[in-house]
Amino acid sequence: MVREFDLIGRYFSREVPEGYIGAGDDCAVLPEQPGRQWVVSTDALIEGRHFLSDVDPYTLGHKSLAVNLSDLAAMGATPAGCVLALALPEIDENWLSKFSDGFYLLADQHSCPLVGGDTTGTGHGIMICVTVFGHITPGTALLRSGAKNGDDIWITGSLGAAHIALKLLQGALPANDALLADTRAALERPRPPVMYAAQLPGLAHAALDISDGFLQDLGHILKASKCGAHIIFDNLPVDPAIRNLPNELMQEAVLSGGDVYQLCFTAPQRHRNAIETLARQFSTMVSRVGVITEGNELVVETLSGRRLMPSQLGYQHF
Amino acid sequence: MVREFDLIGRYFSREVPEGYIGAGDDCAVLPEQPGRQWVVSTDALIEGRHFLSDVDPYTLGHKSLAVNLSDLAAMGATPAGCVLALALPEIDENWLSKFSDGFYLLADQHSCPLVGGDTTGTGHGIMICVTVFGHITPGTALLRSGAKNGDDIWITGSLGAAHIALKLLQGALPANDALLADTRAALERPRPPVMYAAQLPGLAHAALDISDGFLQDLGHILKASKCGAHIIFDNLPVDPAIRNLPNELMQEAVLSGGDVYQLCFTAPQRHRNAIETLARQFSTMVSRVGVITEGNELVVETLSGRRLMPSQLGYQHF
């Protein structure tokens, strides 16, 4: 098997930037980042659970890294590198070539070089495990526990499209090619706001990504920060592609749909201008959707004062 | 599934040391290491390929981390932390409890806290992916490319037992309970010389671990360092448990047997005393087994001058 897996390795041994030592030794070596602190995250993607077996390998390569970059963004960290473990049931050079192209393009865009990895055969399905490293100014990582009473609640990007695309691909909604075309990129080619997020330490109090759905993930901030929240539904950034769907389906997608590799963060009101100015600077869409409150209640209301029941929308109260 | 996998998470959320931020945020945060450089390695273990389905989960937890610590040792790095991605076909609390006990015990012994991870279900077999981080004095990482003509070649620990244990477990050798009892720990509970290895930068020129077999891995050093080697077979540290096996089988195990999470390193002759003194200090067995030569030939000879043919012993020449 050694020679076959040398072959796999060929697709993942592009040159690393100066200051790095990449594949070829027992470990990769990262460049010094004086005065910075390292952060790390790992995510596994399993065939049949996190992606469909017939997914385009190019988009799979992109997404494997994107879901990890999203974790760095949620801490306000700057990417510094990644490693990839890949277990494959068979050698398919076309698949490998496309997967690595998708992976490397996103890695290059974020100066997050692939510095090492492990490739192996498996009698089972495809498993992909990516670990990313980033750095931050010591003590400034955006934690879930930092939200303060009175903070604004912000969201980057838009909500709901990935959920609808997944339902369409799974056949849980009637086939609709136009709707799939409009929503699919949100599911398969997420673009976490990494560069914008690296500017948020010092402005934001708490952050996380919305990979489990907005209400579910906001709940993590509320629990860790021991506070509540008041959300104005009309202010939520509904993806334009799903605005005309039946109301209940649209609400479910927006409030509970997962796979959103965008951020929810909280920040004091005095930083509103800075947050919006930076957003324009980094071409990132941001929406102010609510406010952190005392207590531990999560309220979602429309502008007309109608209260939505999160309990009916997939939200598990803590 | 969320609640079930919360359950998994419970087995992997022990407290982290001061200075770390562990599970609960999107990334873990590592403590600053001023004046040090970070190194990283990742390894995947796949059921049916890297471990047998009926392996004791306690030893599997140990080994999952040990194979990664071995990579840190091979660079001369000091462990600083690890993350674990675990994909399981079913929730078996007994299995999880034992696996995590084995993992944590070794992590504690090496001050290598588990700071984060990802647990998921899978329709396939068990997949384990561990990523470790360590730090070194900048520019002192032990690379494969550092060997110099005239260097001594050293090995830590002993060779061959893991190979024999694997053959016994696979049924490729006649059942032999006594032999299995004597060799099994080398395969299932490897103990890489991490603390000793962290003393080697400044003394050694090149290093790697012997996970692919001694000749195969020494070949990596020779290729990267553009040199040859002369090995005295009688000086190789044959594991006592396999010394009385038929000669051909013993030689194969020693020269080509993999799964040896010990180091092969090269160092100038003037450091012989320091290397042996440190070895006593860290209770690590070291053996001086040969010398780096000019050219690119790898010669294995007995003390009586009989030359062994590496080509017959699984070694692929470069």
Return the pLDDT at A1. Answer: 39
Q: What is the pLDDT of residues A223-237, one digit of tens each?
A: 999 999 999 999 999
Mean pLDDT along residues B64-86: 97
Q: What is the pLDDT of residues B121-143, one digit of tens each?
A: 888 899 999 999 999 999 999 99
Per-residue pLDDT at B316 exceeds 90: no
pLDDT confidence bin for A303, thresholds 50/70/90: very high
Mean pLDDT of chain A: 93
pLDDT confidence bin for A123, thresholds 50/70/90: confident
Min Cα separation A128/chain B (Å): 9
Residue A88, φ and ψ in degrees, nearest 5: -125, 140
Q: What is the pLDDT of residues B151-203, one digit of tens each?
A: 999 999 999 999 999 999 999 999 999 999 999 999 999 999 999 999 999 99
Return the pLDDT at B233. Answer: 96
Mark B46-65 as b/e (b = at least 16 C-beta within 10 Å). Answer: bbebbbeeebbbbbbbbbbb
Asked if B120's CB is within 8 angstroms of A50's CB, the reply is yes
pLDDT confidence bin for B260, thresholds 50/70/90: very high
Q: Chain B contacts of A87, Cβ < 8 Å?
A: 44, 46, 127
Per-residue pLDDT at B210 exceeds 60: yes
Nearest to B27 among A28, A40, A121 (CB): A40
How far apart, in whole angstroms, are the C-alpha atoms of residue B232 and residue B252? 15
Asked if B127's CB is within 8 angstroms of A49's CB, the reply is no
Return the pLDDT at A10. Answer: 83
Neighbours of B234 (CB within 10 A): 11
Return the pLDDT at B124. Answer: 85
Per-residue pLDDT at A316 exceeds 60: no
Asked if A125's CB is within 8 angstroms of B24's CB, the reply is no
Q: How many CB pairs under 8 A join A and B?
A: 208
Return the pLDDT at B58. Answer: 97
How far apart, in whole angstroms, are the C-alpha atoms of residue A124 and residue A89? 6
Per-residue pLDDT at A310 exceeds 70: no
Return the pLDDT at B314. Answer: 47
Asked if A77's CB is within 8 angstroms of B133's CB, the reply is no
Instruction: Break chain A down into helix, strand, coil percent, rounded to 5.
Output: 35, 30, 35
Q: What is the DSSP letter of B189?
A: S
How far apart, in whole angstroms, are the C-alpha atoms of residue A275 and residue A290? 15
Per-residue pLDDT at A156 exceeds 90: yes
Nearest to A87 among B28, B127, B133 (CB): B127
Per-residue pLDDT at B5 exceeds 80: no
Nearest to A44 among B46, B129, B209 (CB): B129
